[in-house]
Structure 1
Amino acid sequence: MVTSGLQHVAAMYAGVVAVPLVIGAAAGLGPGDTTLLMAASLFTAGIATLLQTLGVWRIGARLPFVNGVSFGGVAAMTAIIAAEGGASGLPVIFGAVIVAGLLAFAVSGWFCKLVRFFPPVVTGSVITLIGLSLMPVAFGWIADGETGADGAPASHIGLAAVALVITLAVRRYARGFLQSIAILIGLVAGTLVAVPLGMADFSGLGEADLVGFPTPFHFGAPQFSVPAIVSMCVVMLVIMTESTADMIALGRIVDKPVDEKVIAAGLRADALGSAVAPVFNGFAASAFAQNVGLVAMSRVRSRFVVAVGGGILVLLGLCPVAAALVSAVPLPVLGGVGVVLFGTIAVSGVQTLVQAGLEHGENALIVAVTLGVGLAPEMAHGFYGQFPDSATIILDSGISTGCILAVLLNLVFNHLRSRQDGATPTPPVGAPTEPGVTAPAAAHLH
């Protein structure tokens, strides 16, 4: 359980610390305060993950669901920092996240009812889009910010290839437990290979403290600005949309029907985790899609394994030395195994699309337009640069744009037309159908 949980932490670590690094740089923070933001993000990600996996009352999806700091809020938060002037914008961000999290918690029971508009043609399109949209992240890790006119350094590509080959070899030739932790073995082996090449940096170990608790409201009491609150509320809607799609994808992977009750509980955990995070200098929490791919690849479906991962995240947040040790994994190594993780998500989406009846031209059209529009921000960076900041918060998130578009197209081509023609619409995922038949099974039969 510990090694499998650590594998989840290793797969998500770079994504968790990336947001505080970006925000710290935008706010002009020094190394100490930036490290504090990183530790806070790890700590609050662990709390949110424990909420999701173990559950309290009606909070938590009780799935192997990993939560962490959402990339969706980066654009909004940097805009707030620019408007407020440096670090003075952090209390404004924290106040806006608290309000947005509480409002999201209040509407989770209503938002989950949208699940009836997520049949296989929608979920398959969105899951495929999630995997494809994350691929540039993996290649960005491989380049490690050094992509120039000549491309990524050959040494980075070679190190990523070593990690990838080791991961595949373990997956192919190992058996039992070793096979299930192929990702972790690939990360460790890749890091060991990087040491003699001078590509692994352990200097952070000597500078980090052994124990350090995130100081509540370290940057000052939260401030409540209406424009900032509106902006973060839009971000929370984006987060809820992405989490809904991820929960449905994870439910299919672990063979557990995800209905409105499960989604509402999962969204409450997202919202509560987001509302509590600013107290410890953290940011809005959302599902981590790369860990959905890890569940699919490792076939370790226990939510308690992921709960152990959540506990490890809490400890990393309380122990800067341990956090520094995990951060020593070179980004090219992480990118090499990320190709496997993110590709697995895309394949899971393709498997779902097999059930979507693509022989019907309308469904094929829904998939084509969803993928085309959803990939626009990744294929053409700055594509929506001429739009207002409030619009780019949604448009620059291809996953959210694609999800909204897929739902609308499905409504137009299937639900509305079916009512006009008097036909029966496609059974929605998570809705009751025939007695004794679960919704995913009914969708497959359809």
Structure 2
Amino acid sequence: MSARPGTGNTSSTGTDSARAEASRHPVDEVLPPLKMITSGLQHVAAMYAGVVAVPLVIGAAAQLSPADTTLLMAASLFTAGIATLLQTLGVWRIGARLPFVNGVSFGGVAAMTAIIAAEGGRSGLPVIFGAVIVAGLLAFALSSWFCKLVRFFPPVVTGSVITLIGLSLLPVAFGWIVDGAGEGGAAPMGNIGLAAVALVITLAVRRYARGFLQSVAILVGLVAGTVIAVPLGMADFSGLGEAGLFGFPTPFHFGPPQFSIPAILSMCIVMLVIMTESTADMIALGRIVDKPVDERTIAAGLRADALGSAVAPVFNGFAASAFAQNVGLVAMSKVRSRYVVAVGGAILIVLGLCPLAAALVSAVPLPVLGGVGVVLFGTIAVSGIQTLVQAGLDQGENALIVAVTLGVGLAPEMAHGFYERFPDSATIILDSGISTGCILAVLLNLLFNHLRARKGDTRAPLGAPTEPKVTPQAAAHLH
């Protein structure tokens, strides 16, 4: 007799558990281990070249030895993993708790190379690290204020910026295909062929595969492309023999941080650029995963950026920011779980602690990354276009806002060296087309919509469609 109540309670508990599982947002789902690991690997593969690019450039500018440059690369992977875990899992009010990947920001390269030139080679690194620490801490303090700017990001702004992100990243993919042929140089036919094969395999898996295999199409394309490159002599595994199995980034390997006012000011500008880009990326990701972000989420995400940046120099790393290419991967794979990206962050930490594993990942030929990158970055642009559909481009000057944002934002990509004659402090922002476009879109929206509305203009001023033009399908997408 006593067993019946117990049985009833178990059934009730099971029902409640099932309901809770069904009501859980896909962002908070814990997937099967195999899918978690393989999907996490996709994120690592998509961002790897971007993470190691900055230490390679800085190492060359500082005339570091190959061993020290390798140390910078390992440190960048290690600190990117820490920052990614902060973003995805979160601690207190730190972390957006979205499938948001953080890595080394390329936006600070111009400022850091200028610091190295002023200080003289290797001795400039402690000055850079000191400046990044201060800029990161200041950004952490400003995050609660900066997040309030989200009200100035209606669909006409976010759609413009998301589209600009995708279009700005496409040259990166084609640069990987060229693979060092030089700016304006022709890509070798072998590189184009390998990139095309990787692209076709990715599309074929996405089109004809089902279930789990379909969701890891990017990883399949990368692995298959690398395997094909081996007999063609286009995959270099020589780094495996020189890499050690374990190596912890020595704190302040290049000396204790030094604090220079000009360097700190330049890195503070870089952090503002990073915060602008991360805000746009978080808004884009929120729309892609159907979990729109609010001021609190943006503030938490910016704190993770800032704290990751402040901690990175301790392990010889640089300022951290969002990686837009991984936003495209989330859009394409449809895997929205933040725990998948957290696994990717853990893999990054392992790569940073294991030079041998890092060397294995780096063996993926750049043309293969470029072929797959066309899909990733193009997907981001399409997401922006989908957002612009909701922006009411037939109203007011919204179409003009989009046109000018894309035109000016693409200037650094379409005409390299366009801002070369500007002061270094200005080129830090102007050379980042995403940041320039984001700022311009916000200002134009204020000018044509908000300020005009305050003056009593009767024309439709908003950056979103009027009520009658919202279709049931669009409303369902928005909610």
* TM category, shorter: over 0.9
Residue 227 of structure 2 corresponds to: 192
Corresponding position: 1:242 with 2:280 = no
- Structure 1: where are the runs of 5+ without partners? 429-439
Residue of structure 2 aligned with 1:392, choices 404, 416, 427:
427
Question: Quick one: which amino acid aligns to residue 318 of structure 2?
Answer: F
Residue of structure 2 aligned with 1:314, choices 349, 352, 361:
349
- Retained in 1: the 8 A contact 2:277–2:322? yes
Residue 120 of structure 2 corresponds to: 85
Residue 435 of structure 1 corresponds to: none
Q: Give the Cα separation in 1 of the matches to 2:183 and 2:348.
A: 34
Deviation at 1:426, TM superposition (A): 3.2
Deviation at 1:421, TM superposition (A): 1.0
Q: Give the Cα separation in 2 of the matches to 1:383 and 1:405.
A: 17
Residue 19 of structure 1 corresponds to: 54
Q: TM-score scaled by structure 1?
A: 0.95
CA 209–444 in structure 1, closer or farther in 2 if over 3 Å, else same: closer
Task: Write the deviation string for residues 153-175 of structure 1: whole angstroms up to 9, x where unpaired.
Answer: 00000000000000000000000
- Retained in 2: the 8 A contact 1:120–1:443? no
Question: Quick one: which amino acid aligns to residue 309 of structure 1?
Answer: G
Corresponding position: 1:294 with 2:294 = no
Residue 426 of structure 1 corresponds to: 462
Task: Write the deviation string for residues 220-255 of structure 1: whole angstroms up to 9, x where unpaired.
Answer: 000000000000000000000000000000000000
Residue of structure 2 aligned with 1:32, choices 58, 61, 67:
67
Structure with the greater alpha carbon radius of gyration: 2
Deviation at 1:360, TM superposition (A): 1.8
Deviation at 1:425, TM superposition (A): 5.6
Residue 211 of structure 1 corresponds to: 246
- Retained in 1: the 8 A contact 2:195–2:371? yes
CA 149–181 in structure 1, closer or farther in 2 if over 3 Å, else same: closer
Residue 437 of structure 1 corresponds to: none
1:343-422 residue pairs with structure 2 within 5 A? Answer: 343-421=378-456
Residue of structure 2 aligned with 1:118, choices 130, 153, 163:
153
1:170-189 residue pairs with structure 2 within 5 A? Answer: 170-189=205-224
Question: Quick one: which amino acid aligns to residue 419 of structure 1?
Answer: R
Cα RMSD for the two superposed structures: 1.8
Deviation at 1:150, TM superposition (A): 6.4
Q: Give the Cα separation in 2 of the matches to 1:272 and 1:168.
A: 38
Q: Give the Cα separation in 2 of the matches to 1:74 and 1:146.
A: 21
Q: TM-score scaled by structure 2?
A: 0.89
Corresponding position: 1:167 with 2:202 = yes
- Retained in 2: the 8 A contact 1:427–1:442? no
Q: Give the Cα separation in 2 of the matches to 1:185 and 1:60.
A: 30
Q: Give the Cα separation in 2 of the matches to 1:413 and 1:407.
A: 10
SS at match of 1:105: helix
SS at match of 1:356: coil
SS at match of 1:421: coil
Deviation at 1:420, TM superposition (A): 1.1
Q: Give the Cα separation in 1 of the matches to 2:146 and 2:331.
A: 27
Question: Quick one: which amino acid aligns to residue 102 of structure 2?
Answer: N
Residue 140 of structure 2 corresponds to: 105
Residue 146 of structure 1 corresponds to: 181
CA 408–149 in structure 1, closer or farther in 2 if over 3 Å, else same: closer
Corresponding position: 1:45 with 2:96 = no
- Structure 2: where are the runs of 5+ without partners? 1-35, 465-473
Residue 193 of structure 2 corresponds to: 158
CA 279–441 in structure 1, closer or farther in 2 if over 3 Å, else same: farther
Q: Give the Cα separation in 1 of the matches to 2:387 and 2:152.
A: 15
Question: Quick one: which amino acid aligns to residue 274 of structure 2?
Answer: I
Q: Give the Cα separation in 1 of the matches to 2:184 and 2:143.
A: 47
Residue of structure 2 aligned with 1:233, choices 268, 274, 285:
268
SS at match of 2:438: helix
Give aligned pairs, total: 436
CA 123–442 in structure 1, closer or farther in 2 if over 3 Å, else same: farther
CA 149–353 in structure 1, closer or farther in 2 if over 3 Å, else same: closer
Deviation at 1:68, TM superposition (A): 0.2
